[in-house]
A = this chain, B = another copy of it.
Amino acid sequence: MLIKEKREMKYEKKQNKEQDILIAAEEEFLTKGYDGARTTSIAQRAGVTHAMLHYYFRTKEQLFNRVVEQKFGMVAMTMASVIADLSLPIVERIVHGARAHFDIAAKDPKLPAFMIHEILSNPERSTMIREKVKWITLNVHQNLQAQLDMAANRGEIRKIDAAELLLDIISLNVFSVLIYPFISQIADGFLPNYEDFKVKRKAEIADTIRRKLLIQ
Protein backbone atom coordinates (compact mmCIF):
# COMPACT_ATOMS: atom_id res chain seq x y z
CA MET A 1 0.00 0.00 0.00
CA LEU A 2 2.75 2.36 1.01
CA ILE A 3 4.79 1.30 -1.97
CA LYS A 4 1.92 1.95 -4.33
CA GLU A 5 1.47 5.42 -2.92
CA LYS A 6 5.12 6.21 -3.38
CA ARG A 7 5.03 4.96 -6.93
CA GLU A 8 2.08 7.15 -7.70
CA MET A 9 3.80 10.10 -6.14
CA LYS A 10 6.83 9.60 -8.30
CA TYR A 11 4.67 9.15 -11.36
CA GLU A 12 2.72 12.26 -10.56
CA LYS A 13 5.84 14.21 -9.89
CA LYS A 14 7.30 13.32 -13.26
CA GLN A 15 3.98 14.07 -14.89
CA ASN A 16 3.96 17.41 -13.18
CA LYS A 17 7.31 18.63 -14.50
CA GLU A 18 6.62 17.34 -17.96
CA GLN A 19 3.14 18.78 -17.85
CA ASP A 20 4.45 22.08 -16.50
CA ILE A 21 6.72 22.35 -19.51
CA LEU A 22 3.91 21.47 -21.90
CA ILE A 23 1.65 24.11 -20.39
CA ALA A 24 4.38 26.74 -20.52
CA ALA A 25 5.22 25.73 -24.09
CA GLU A 26 1.61 26.02 -25.18
CA GLU A 27 1.40 29.53 -23.80
CA GLU A 28 4.67 30.52 -25.47
CA PHE A 29 4.02 28.89 -28.85
CA LEU A 30 0.44 30.08 -29.14
CA THR A 31 1.28 33.72 -28.51
CA LYS A 32 4.68 34.02 -30.19
CA GLY A 33 4.56 31.29 -32.82
CA TYR A 34 7.28 28.72 -33.39
CA ASP A 35 9.88 31.23 -34.55
CA GLY A 36 9.21 33.76 -31.82
CA ALA A 37 9.09 31.16 -29.06
CA ARG A 38 12.27 30.66 -27.02
CA THR A 39 13.08 27.41 -25.29
CA THR A 40 14.71 29.43 -22.54
CA SER A 41 11.51 31.39 -21.94
CA ILE A 42 9.50 28.19 -21.85
CA ALA A 43 11.84 26.70 -19.26
CA GLN A 44 11.60 29.88 -17.22
CA ARG A 45 7.80 29.90 -17.38
CA ALA A 46 7.73 26.27 -16.32
CA GLY A 47 10.15 26.91 -13.49
CA VAL A 48 12.76 24.40 -14.63
CA THR A 49 16.25 24.78 -15.98
CA HIS A 50 16.63 24.97 -19.67
CA ALA A 51 18.31 21.57 -19.93
CA MET A 52 15.22 19.83 -18.53
CA LEU A 53 13.26 20.81 -21.54
CA HIS A 54 15.66 18.94 -23.79
CA TYR A 55 15.77 16.05 -21.36
CA TYR A 56 12.03 15.49 -21.73
CA PHE A 57 11.44 16.53 -25.32
CA ARG A 58 14.87 16.47 -26.98
CA THR A 59 14.22 19.30 -29.43
CA LYS A 60 12.17 22.45 -29.75
CA GLU A 61 10.38 20.96 -32.72
CA GLN A 62 9.39 17.78 -30.86
CA LEU A 63 8.06 19.88 -28.02
CA PHE A 64 6.13 21.93 -30.55
CA ASN A 65 4.60 18.80 -32.02
CA ARG A 66 3.57 17.53 -28.63
CA VAL A 67 1.86 20.83 -27.88
CA VAL A 68 0.02 20.79 -31.20
CA GLU A 69 -1.02 17.17 -30.73
CA GLN A 70 -2.38 17.79 -27.25
CA LYS A 71 -4.09 21.05 -28.15
CA PHE A 72 -5.86 19.80 -31.23
CA GLY A 73 -6.82 16.60 -29.48
CA MET A 74 -8.68 18.75 -26.98
CA VAL A 75 -10.32 20.82 -29.69
CA ALA A 76 -11.41 17.68 -31.56
CA MET A 77 -13.03 16.35 -28.41
CA THR A 78 -14.84 19.60 -27.75
CA MET A 79 -16.00 19.78 -31.35
CA ALA A 80 -17.50 16.32 -31.11
CA SER A 81 -19.72 17.58 -28.31
CA VAL A 82 -21.20 20.26 -30.55
CA ILE A 83 -23.51 17.85 -32.34
CA ALA A 84 -26.82 19.12 -31.14
CA ASP A 85 -29.87 17.22 -30.00
CA LEU A 86 -31.37 15.58 -33.07
CA SER A 87 -34.87 15.96 -31.69
CA LEU A 88 -34.69 19.74 -32.17
CA PRO A 89 -36.06 21.28 -35.37
CA ILE A 90 -33.30 21.65 -37.97
CA VAL A 91 -33.02 25.44 -37.74
CA GLU A 92 -32.75 25.38 -33.97
CA ARG A 93 -30.30 22.52 -34.16
CA ILE A 94 -27.95 24.44 -36.42
CA VAL A 95 -28.29 27.70 -34.54
CA HIS A 96 -27.57 25.82 -31.36
CA GLY A 97 -24.48 24.30 -32.97
CA ALA A 98 -23.31 27.72 -34.11
CA ARG A 99 -23.67 29.06 -30.58
CA ALA A 100 -21.78 26.11 -29.15
CA HIS A 101 -19.03 26.66 -31.69
CA PHE A 102 -18.84 30.31 -30.72
CA ASP A 103 -18.14 29.28 -27.14
CA ILE A 104 -15.41 26.91 -28.23
CA ALA A 105 -13.78 29.62 -30.32
CA ALA A 106 -14.09 32.13 -27.50
CA LYS A 107 -12.36 29.76 -25.12
CA ASP A 108 -9.26 29.67 -27.30
CA PRO A 109 -9.05 32.92 -29.23
CA LYS A 110 -5.35 32.54 -29.98
CA LEU A 111 -5.62 29.13 -31.61
CA PRO A 112 -6.84 30.12 -35.08
CA ALA A 113 -4.26 32.86 -35.52
CA PHE A 114 -1.57 30.44 -34.41
CA MET A 115 -2.80 27.76 -36.78
CA ILE A 116 -2.98 30.03 -39.77
CA HIS A 117 0.36 31.64 -39.12
CA GLU A 118 2.17 28.34 -38.66
CA ILE A 119 0.74 26.77 -41.79
CA LEU A 120 1.55 29.88 -43.76
CA SER A 121 5.05 30.38 -42.39
CA ASN A 122 6.19 26.77 -42.44
CA PRO A 123 3.96 24.25 -44.18
CA GLU A 124 6.36 21.33 -43.75
CA ARG A 125 6.63 21.71 -40.01
CA SER A 126 2.88 21.99 -39.55
CA THR A 127 1.77 18.84 -41.32
CA MET A 128 0.35 17.64 -38.03
CA ILE A 129 -1.86 20.70 -37.65
CA ARG A 130 -3.29 20.14 -41.11
CA GLU A 131 -3.98 16.47 -40.47
CA LYS A 132 -5.75 17.21 -37.21
CA VAL A 133 -7.93 19.90 -38.73
CA LYS A 134 -8.76 17.70 -41.68
CA TRP A 135 -9.87 14.90 -39.42
CA ILE A 136 -12.09 17.22 -37.39
CA THR A 137 -13.86 18.92 -40.26
CA LEU A 138 -14.50 16.05 -42.66
CA ASN A 139 -16.86 14.28 -40.27
CA VAL A 140 -18.79 17.40 -39.43
CA HIS A 141 -19.21 18.37 -43.06
CA GLN A 142 -20.66 15.07 -44.28
CA ASN A 143 -23.00 14.81 -41.34
CA LEU A 144 -24.23 18.35 -41.78
CA GLN A 145 -24.82 18.07 -45.52
CA ALA A 146 -27.01 15.00 -45.00
CA GLN A 147 -29.10 16.80 -42.40
CA LEU A 148 -29.46 19.89 -44.56
CA ASP A 149 -30.53 17.92 -47.61
CA MET A 150 -33.17 16.01 -45.70
CA ALA A 151 -34.61 19.15 -44.15
CA ALA A 152 -34.59 20.94 -47.51
CA ASN A 153 -36.47 18.07 -49.10
CA ARG A 154 -39.07 18.29 -46.34
CA GLY A 155 -39.38 21.99 -47.17
CA GLU A 156 -38.24 23.14 -43.74
CA ILE A 157 -35.31 25.20 -45.00
CA ARG A 158 -34.02 26.32 -48.35
CA LYS A 159 -31.44 24.21 -50.14
CA ILE A 160 -28.02 25.10 -48.87
CA ASP A 161 -24.42 23.97 -49.29
CA ALA A 162 -23.00 22.59 -46.04
CA ALA A 163 -19.49 23.82 -46.88
CA GLU A 164 -20.73 27.37 -47.32
CA LEU A 165 -22.76 27.25 -44.14
CA LEU A 166 -19.86 25.83 -42.17
CA LEU A 167 -17.57 28.50 -43.57
CA ASP A 168 -20.07 31.16 -42.54
CA ILE A 169 -20.33 29.88 -39.00
CA ILE A 170 -16.61 29.36 -38.58
CA SER A 171 -15.72 32.70 -40.16
CA LEU A 172 -18.13 34.70 -38.07
CA ASN A 173 -17.34 32.99 -34.78
CA VAL A 174 -13.59 32.65 -35.08
CA PHE A 175 -12.94 36.03 -36.57
CA SER A 176 -15.06 37.78 -33.97
CA VAL A 177 -13.13 36.40 -31.02
CA LEU A 178 -9.89 36.72 -32.94
CA ILE A 179 -9.99 40.42 -33.45
CA TYR A 180 -11.53 41.54 -30.19
CA PRO A 181 -8.13 42.70 -28.88
CA PHE A 182 -7.89 45.00 -31.89
CA ILE A 183 -11.38 46.32 -31.70
CA SER A 184 -10.99 47.18 -28.06
CA GLN A 185 -7.88 49.18 -28.90
CA ILE A 186 -9.30 50.78 -31.99
CA ALA A 187 -12.69 51.70 -30.62
CA ASP A 188 -11.47 52.55 -27.14
CA GLY A 189 -14.17 53.84 -24.90
CA PHE A 190 -17.33 53.25 -26.83
CA LEU A 191 -17.06 49.48 -26.87
CA PRO A 192 -18.55 47.21 -24.20
CA ASN A 193 -16.30 44.89 -22.20
CA TYR A 194 -15.47 41.46 -23.55
CA GLU A 195 -18.31 39.62 -21.80
CA ASP A 196 -20.99 41.98 -23.08
CA PHE A 197 -19.42 42.02 -26.51
CA LYS A 198 -19.49 38.24 -26.68
CA VAL A 199 -23.13 37.94 -25.62
CA LYS A 200 -24.25 40.48 -28.17
CA ARG A 201 -22.05 39.12 -30.92
CA LYS A 202 -23.13 35.54 -30.35
CA ALA A 203 -26.80 36.51 -30.61
CA GLU A 204 -26.14 38.54 -33.75
CA ILE A 205 -24.34 35.66 -35.43
CA ALA A 206 -27.04 33.19 -34.46
CA ASP A 207 -29.58 35.51 -36.03
CA THR A 208 -27.52 35.86 -39.18
CA ILE A 209 -27.30 32.09 -39.55
CA ARG A 210 -31.02 31.66 -38.89
CA ARG A 211 -31.87 34.16 -41.62
CA LYS A 212 -29.68 32.25 -44.03
CA LEU A 213 -31.66 29.08 -43.54
CA LEU A 214 -35.15 30.46 -43.90
CA ILE A 215 -37.03 30.15 -47.17
CA GLN A 216 -37.08 33.78 -48.25
Residues in B whose Cβ lies below 8 Å from that of A110: 120
In the complex, A200 Cα to B167 Cα: how many Å?
12
* Chain A facing B: main interface SS: helix
Q: Does A120 contact B186, Cβ atoms closer than 8 Å?
A: no
Stretch in A66-74, A83-91, A170-178 with 4+ CB within 8 Å of B: A170-178
Pick from B36, B171, B186: contact of A138, CB under 8 Å: B186
Contact A117 B186 (CB under 8 A): no
- In the complex, A5 has a CB within 8 A of chain B: no
Chain A interface residue count, CB cutoff 8 Å, equals 46
User: Bound state CA distance, A181 and B118, in angstroms?
Assistant: 12
- In angstroms, how far is the closest chain B Cβ from the Cβ of A41? 12
Contact B33 A182 (CB under 8 A): no
Of B117, B141, B163, B176, the residue contacting A113 (CB under 8 A) is: B117
With both beta carbons as reference points, the residue of chain B lying nearest to A115 in the complex is identified as B182
| A212 CB-CB contact with B under 8 Å | yes
CB of B35 within 8 A of CB of A186, answer no
Q: Is A32 an interface residue (CB 8 A)?
A: yes
